[in-house]
Amino acid sequence: MDPVTLTTDRLVLRAVGVDDTDAIFAAAQDPDIQRWTTIPSPYLLEHASGFTDQTVPEGWADGSAFAFGVFLPSGQLVGMLSITMRSLGVGEVGYWAAKEHRGNGYITEATVAASRWAFTDLSVDRVEWRAEVGNTGSRAVAERAGFTIEGTLRSAINNKGVRRDCWVGSLLPSDLGLPSTSPYLPAR
């Protein structure tokens, strides 16, 4: 699939490229991003280069992961968001926000936009969110985006070689007023 660009009232979501390497590298120096995400720590310029030069284009090309840089209309990087395909009809959202842009609702807005796109253009029927227990910032974004928190999974995330418990939540097309691609019969 060729990369797409999504827009919201305040943001532009687009695939990142070589020109974005330095901004991603600078933002990822934040200790909180390195602590709560699975990016390498320390995060080196070669990691950012590999991400923009290889990981992002390959994910779009083979349909396995759709990474978006989240930008203000001015071109300033706000954060990163990706939807990784986990199984047929199921994508998992992951995100981080640059420190200076936290608390503005940008990543919530981007999460809703990318999820809507996944439902309508990728035939996804479930977007999952996972975060290590204790990552209250990520959980707040998921909840504001409309995700239902479904519970805690034991030893479900491997972050830098350590198994950790995580929260899990989901967003369904119906949560955004959209139809599903296949019938859904919830348990009662």
Q: What is the mean pLDDT of residues 18-42?
A: 97
> Residue 188: its pLDDT value, please?
85
Mean pLDDT of 50-77: 98
13-20: average pLDDT: 98
Alpha carbons 8 and 129: distance in angstroms, whole number: 21
**148-159 sheet: strands from edge to edge:** 6-7, 12-14, 65-71, 77-87, 90-97, 126-132, 162-171, 148-159
Q: pLDDT tens across 65-82, in order?
A: 999 999 999 999 999 999
For residue 50, CA distances in Å to 5, 56, 86, 134 come to: 21, 9, 22, 29
Tens digits of residue pLDDT in 136-159: 999 999 999 999 999 999 999 999
| CA quadruple 92, 181, 58, 82: dihedral sign | negative
Q: What domains does the chain contain, in order, with CATH numbers?
A: 5-176 (3.40.630.30)
Rounded mean pLDDT of 49-77? 98
pLDDT at 122: 96
